[in-house]
Structure 1
Amino acid sequence: MSSGKILIAEDEMVLRFLISETLEEEGFDIDEAEDGKLAMDNLRYNEYDLIILDYMMPEATGIEVCEWLRAEAGANSQKPVILLTAKAEEKDRQRAMQAGVSMFISKPFSPVELAESVRRLAAGGQP
């Protein structure tokens, strides 16, 4: 039984693999994108329960993807978005929140903690 469908947009292959493996073990169905443009393509044509975006990606940043997503009238426009970032400054956090990010997770992070946050948000809970 699937716990839900998640898009992971992360340009670091090893980290993307780690997140995918962790969430698949939790029962989630995973799609992956290695850059912002591919993330937008996935969001345009598929419906997700939750989206995980890396801040710094080629083609479009996680913030730009989230801004585009929130402006779209598509099936995913109101879905929870987790932003992964090594940029932990307050101005980055504020920009993320203005873009409509639901939750901000700083790298490095624990995959187990990420999985707990994903479960909570995918179930409609608070970050």
Structure 2
Amino acid sequence: MRILLVEDNLLNALALKRILERRGHEILHADGGRKALEILDSSGFDLVLMDLMMPDMDGYETARRIRGMEGEKSRVPIVAVTALLASQALERCLRAGMNSFLTKPVDEEHFRDVAERLGPSPCEP
């Protein structure tokens, strides 16, 4: 899959990028919400992994803006990635237009399950 990783903490981004690339995914990193919107406006992705707490634009607002984009870009699956407890953030994530939720540190098996459920099917071009 082609994944946009939106994470302002460079160490977290590098660790997650390494895990995902090891699984064969192509990863592009955006260090904040505004940069993510710029990248999404010019390129397509199969999945967005979105940190919730970023200084320039939080993940909730970024997700709402993605859902407001034109065409296919507005339908890209968005998965929140955060250290917050699921019960505290899940409802707010869903209201912002996100599709699922992963807690940090990201468990590889849990990511695989989410990616298989939300990502493109192997038969799609």
TM superposition outliers: structure 1 runs of 4+ over 6 Å:
none
TM-score for both structures, normalised by structure 2: 0.86
Task: Quote the Cα distance in structure 2 between the aligned partners of 1:20 and 1:89.
Answer: 22
| Counterparts of 2:23 and 2:57, CA distance in 1 | 29
Tell me the CA shift for residue 112 of structure 1. 4.1
Which residue is equivalent to 2:10?
Answer: 13
Partner of residue 88 from structure 1, selected from 85, 88, 96: 85
| 1:121 aligned to which of 107, 110, 118 | 118
| Other-structure match for 2:50 | 53
In the alignment, structure 1 segments of 5+ residues that lack a partner are none
Matched, 1:38 2:38: no
**Identity percentage over the alignment?**
28
TM-score, length-scaled by structure 1? 0.85
For 1:122 and 1:89, the matched residues in 2 are separated by: 21
CA RMSD of aligned residues (A): 1.7
Matched length: 121
1:2-36 C-alpha deviation (Å, 9 max, x unpaired): xx211000111111111111111211111101111
What is the letter of the counterpart of residue 90 of structure 1? S
Question: Where does the alignment leave 5 or more consecutive residues of structure 2 unmatched?
Answer: none
User: Secondary structure of 2:74's partner?
Assistant: coil
